[in-house]
């Protein structure tokens, strides 16, 4: 029998940067922020080295904008 996992309205309102994740403890699917998934994986040490290397290769230092950086005083 089909089971409703999340409502379409929830998916549409979540916007970008969310993934559908199964929560075994609650026995249901949830919409979760990609930032939360990566933070949890980083805390657990579960991010693969290949993934980290690919991200490092794709980040261009020229595209990073630092505005009003306060390095403090020494």
pLDDT tens for the chain, 74 residues long, are: 556 555 555 666 666 778 888 888 988 888 888 888 888 877 877 778 888 788 778 887 777 777 776 777 76
Domain that holds residue 17: 8-59
Q: 64 in a domain, yes or no?
A: no
Count: domains in the chain = 1
**pTM of the predicted model, to two decimals?**
0.45
* Collapsed DSSP state (helix, strand, coil) of residue 53: helix
Q: 55 in a domain, yes or no?
A: yes
Q: 38 in a domain, yes or no?
A: yes
Residues 6+ away with beta carbon under 8 Å from 5:
20, 28, 29
């Amino acid at each position: 029998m089909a089971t409703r996992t999340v409502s379409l309205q929830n998916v549409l309102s979540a916007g970008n940067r969310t993934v559908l994740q199964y929560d075994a403890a609650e026995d249901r699917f949830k919409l979760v922020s990609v930032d939360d998934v990566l933070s949890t994986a980083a805390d657990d040490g579960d991010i693969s080295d290949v993934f980290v290397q690919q991200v490092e290769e794709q980040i261009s230092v020229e595209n990073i904008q630092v505005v009003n950086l306060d390095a403090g005083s020494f």
